[in-house]
Chain A
């Protein structure tokens, strides 16, 4: 991924990472954050449609990509970075958040502590990524029965509204709303992409996607 944050931030909305490979394909980087065991890896693997049995515990980072069509002339190649629940140190944070345009904050509706941790995750995001990064809050495991639920939907919505995020409840287990959540996030970034012509063509990047 060609990170051109500094050069681009003047001309495009988010100081984000762009790599235009092909005429109108933008590669955008999205990251998943949230406490351990909330289902990030499974969400990601559902979205980029990898075969997933039970995903093994993520150590380090995992990546997946999927291309979505935005309009006739424009596709978005979403590159999703998924990380183990902890950030060991700064250089990991830099590698993870550098050039991110969208963040998916995930918590587990059946575990209060994961919701309480959100504030910490959010501040981590704010510290390390561009200020106009797109955010979506995802309450995962909505398949849990109401008795197991520890965080109500209203609370989730309230938190999301307070911090200017979108909010979705998903069930990665059943695959409910996962697609919507990801699309919503991606599209909220994609509408800022220049529609008419590709401003940054690939000059130095060798072609491999044509």
Chain B
């Protein structure tokens, strides 16, 4: 029995592949809850138990399995055990995440095995989504990771489909209004079971949790025809009513998601990983669990985040995200966090010297900037090409252009430049980006030249913004 258990544990990742086999081979009656841990799971506070129970009765009501008392009990126990093991307070959505695991075998398998599947799946694909952080000002708590997901989704949409993003903006529908269930339940709350299991299987095969963000994006974009036709009044209902109905749709969306992922700057994935999938500092008292591995898929997380800056708490990263947008805000901070990872070739010694050297020449902004950029292994340039004041002249002005073409509005461009490249090349890259945007037919800023477009502080944030940004910008453009 024990050996059998262990063997199964090892296979959790391929679980969904196995489940068909299991279906055929394993003929077991719907067993009671044998697992010891599960059996004694119901010890949380009474209120919490009530809340869980309330949601359990409202989960997967379409499935006959959960008409059965035993299945509901299993669900309740699994969820409360998970909360206890991870030191979480129950929040809505967990029941939706757990329920499908009872459906993977034909006589529902309601024991510790399904529970462990559920646990390792959530740990892997939505690891911190329920973890909270103290709100800085108010007393309440916030779901930091969820918020980061939502902010990043918005960014991603701006990047890949500016026209759709502009349309959504025009309708005043933000991802907070519709995408929450996508992230909190990994699509489970709204998707019929066959399609959902197919989707989860694909996710398991792909292995990298980051993909989920792109699935959400792909799902949105694949509905763009519908969404673009939708008048603003109906937008909230339409967009939240989107349903992944069949496995065929799932296949399409998944393929699109992979393609989108590949066409997204790596930088984005790094930010995403840091913000959403990195180990949590505060939560997770319970700690070790067999499923909580490093994200598979050969991503170059490059070992443990070396050094101080990489251990930046998620909250402060989020504050940056919240303030304006991922990459336009705290390029400084993001740069340090990100680039400390893969290519932190700069030795600590040089770090200190350059850092010390920078303030000595405050008059010449360029020097400070340059030496500053030498501090980290790579340099990158962030160009936020959004119109300066989108709210300024009403929805039609800053938004989509008349022809509906995907103009540069709302597009955030990211360029990363290899350390070997010189200052001049970097400047040329900036100019080139801006020219591209200008040529895109966007009346970005009255004059389409890089020279005019550069100075306003919003549009170009380089790693270290010297005080005299205007003069540097002009030099940049000339270079």
Kindly list the 7 A-B residue pairs having the minimum CB-CB distance in the complex, ordered from nearest: A60-B180, A89-B142, A57-B58, A88-B143, A63-B237, A59-B181, A95-B176
**A89 and B143 contacting across the interface, CB-CB below 8 Å:** yes
What secondary structure prevails in chain A residues at the interface with B? loop
Q: How far is the CA of A91 from the CA of B142 in the complex (A)?
A: 10
Given the interface pairs A53-B61, A204-B396, A205-B231, the reply to whether A91 lies near B176 with Cβ below 8 Å is yes
Indicate which residue in B60, B142, B180, B234 contacts A65 across the interface (CB closer than 8 Å): B234
Kindly state whether residue B76 has any CB partner on chain A within 8 Å: no
| Stretch of A76-84, A152-160, A190-198 at the chain-chain interface | A76-84
Q: How far is the CA of A62 from the CA of B55 in the complex (A)?
A: 16
Kindly state whether residue B329 has any CB partner on chain A within 8 Å: no
Kindly state whether residue B294 has any CB partner on chain A within 8 Å: no
Measured between beta carbons, the chain B residues less than 8 angstroms from A91 are 147, 150-151, 174, 176, 322
Kindly state whether residue A1 has any CB partner on chain B within 8 Å: yes
Query: Residues of B at under 8 Å CB distance from A?
Result: 51, 54-55, 57-61, 91-93, 95-96, 135, 140, 142-144, 146-147, 150-151, 170-174, 176-181, 184-185, 189, 229, 231-237, 240-241, 322, 394-396
Q: How far is the CA of A98 from the CA of B177 in the complex (A)?
A: 11
**B176 and A27 contacting across the interface, CB-CB below 8 Å:** no
Report the minimum CB–CB distance from B211 to chain A (whole Å). Answer: 21
**A59 and B177 contacting across the interface, CB-CB below 8 Å:** no
Given the interface pairs A37-B51, A84-B92, A88-B147, the reply to whether A60 lies near B232 with Cβ below 8 Å is no
Q: Which of A55-104 contact B (CB under 8 A)?
A: 55-65, 77, 79, 81, 84-92, 94-96, 98-99
Indicate which residue in A2, A7, A53, A59 contacts B93 across the interface (CB closer than 8 Å): A59
Q: How far is the CA of A80 from the CA of B140 in the complex (A)?
A: 26
Nearest A residue to B53 via CB reads A37
Q: Can you give 12 A-B contacts (C-beta < 8 A)?
A: A19-B233, A54-B58, A54-B61, A56-B60, A60-B181, A84-B92, A86-B92, A89-B147, A91-B147, A204-B396, A205-B232, A208-B234
Indicate which residue in B57, B92, B174, B241 contacts A59 across the interface (CB closer than 8 Å): B92
Q: How far is the CA of A37 from the CA of B58 in the complex (A)?
A: 10
**B240 and A204 contacting across the interface, CB-CB below 8 Å:** no
Q: How far is the CA of A79 from the CA of B236 in the complex (A)?
A: 9
Given the interface pairs A57-B95, A60-B178, the reply to whether A1 lies near B59 with Cβ below 8 Å is no
Q: How far is the CA of A172 from the CA of B396 in the complex (A)?
A: 41
Measured between beta carbons, the chain A residues less than 8 angstroms from B57 are 54
Kindly state whether residue A36 has any CB partner on chain B within 8 Å: yes
Q: How far is the CA of A63 from the CA of B58 in the complex (A)?
A: 18
Given the interface pairs A1-B233, A21-B231, the reply to whether A60 lies near B240 with Cβ below 8 Å is yes
Q: Which of A90-137 contact B (CB under 8 A)?
A: 90-92, 94-96, 98-99
Given the interface pairs A37-B51, A59-B185, the reply to whether A2 lies near B176 with Cβ below 8 Å is no
Measured between beta carbons, the chain A residues less than 8 angstroms from B236 are 1, 61, 63, 79, 81
Given the interface pairs A54-B58, A54-B61, A64-B237, the reply to whether A88 lies near B231 with Cβ below 8 Å is no
Q: How far is the CA of A84 from the CA of B96 in the complex (A)?
A: 14
Q: How far is the CA of A174 from the CA of B54 in the complex (A)?
A: 19
